[in-house]
Amino acid sequence: MSNEALRPETIAAHALRGVDEATGAVVPPIYLSSTYARDENYKPLLKENYVRNGNPTLWQTEEAIAALEGGTSALLFASGMAAITTLLETVPAGAHVVAPDVMYYGTRDWMKRLEGLGRITLTLFDPRKDGALDAALQKGKTDLVWIETPLNPTWDVIDIEAASKATHAVGAILAVDATATAAVTTRPLKLGADVVFHSATKYLNGHSDVLAGVLVTREENQRWTDVRMLRTKIGAPLPPLDCFLLMRGLRTVFVRYRQCSANALAIAKHFEGHPKVERVLYPGLASHAGHAIAARQMRDGFGGMMSLLVRGGFDDAQKLCTRLKVIVPATSLGGVESLAEHRKTVEGPTSPVPDNLVRLSIGIEHVDDLIADLEQALASL
Q: Is 279 strand, coil or helix? A: strand
Stretch that binds ligand PLP, among 42-50, 73-81, 286-294, 337-345 (CB under 6 A): 73-81
**Residues in 193-232 at the binding interface with ligand PLP, rule: CB under 6 A:** 199, 201-202, 211, 213
Please tell me the distance from the alpha carbon of residue 180 to that of residue 104, in angstroms, as a whole number: 9
Closest CA to 216 of 83, 107, 341: 83
Closest CA to 88 of 49, 54, 139, 122: 122
213/283 with CB nearer ligand PLP: 213
152 binds ligand PLP (CB under 6 A): yes
60/79 with CB nearer ligand PLP: 79
Stretch that binds ligand PLP, among 163-171, 172-180, 291-299, 312-320 (CB under 6 A): 172-180
Stretch that binds ligand PLP, among 88-96, 101-109, 273-281, 353-361 (CB under 6 A): 101-109
Please tell me the distance from the alpha carbon of residue 119 to that of residue 122, in angstroms, as a whole number: 10
Minimal distance, residue 36 CB to ligand PLP, in Å: 28
Known catalytic residues? 52, 104, 177, 202
Cβ-contact 172, 192 below 8 angstroms = no
174/180 with CB nearer ligand PLP: 180
Please tell me the distance from the alpha carbon of residue 158 to that of residue 292, in angstroms, as a whole number: 11
State the alpha helices, DSSP H only, in the chain: 8-13, 56-69, 80-89, 105-116, 132-136, 160-169, 222-234, 240-250, 253-271, 291-297, 314-323, 343-347, 367-379
Closest CA to 243 of 46, 45, 68, 32: 32
Q: x/- contact string, 306-345, with ligand PLP (CB under 6 A)? A: ---------------------------x------------
79 binds ligand PLP (CB under 6 A): yes
Which of 55, 90, 179, 356 binds ligand PLP (CB under 6 A)? It is 179
CA 327 to chain centre: 21
Pairing of strands 121-125, 96-100: parallel
80 binds ligand PLP (CB under 6 A): yes
Number of residues that bind ligand PLP (CB under 6 A): 17
Residues of this chain that bind ligand PLP (CB under 6 A): 79-81, 104, 106-107, 148, 152, 177, 179-180, 199, 201-202, 211, 213, 333
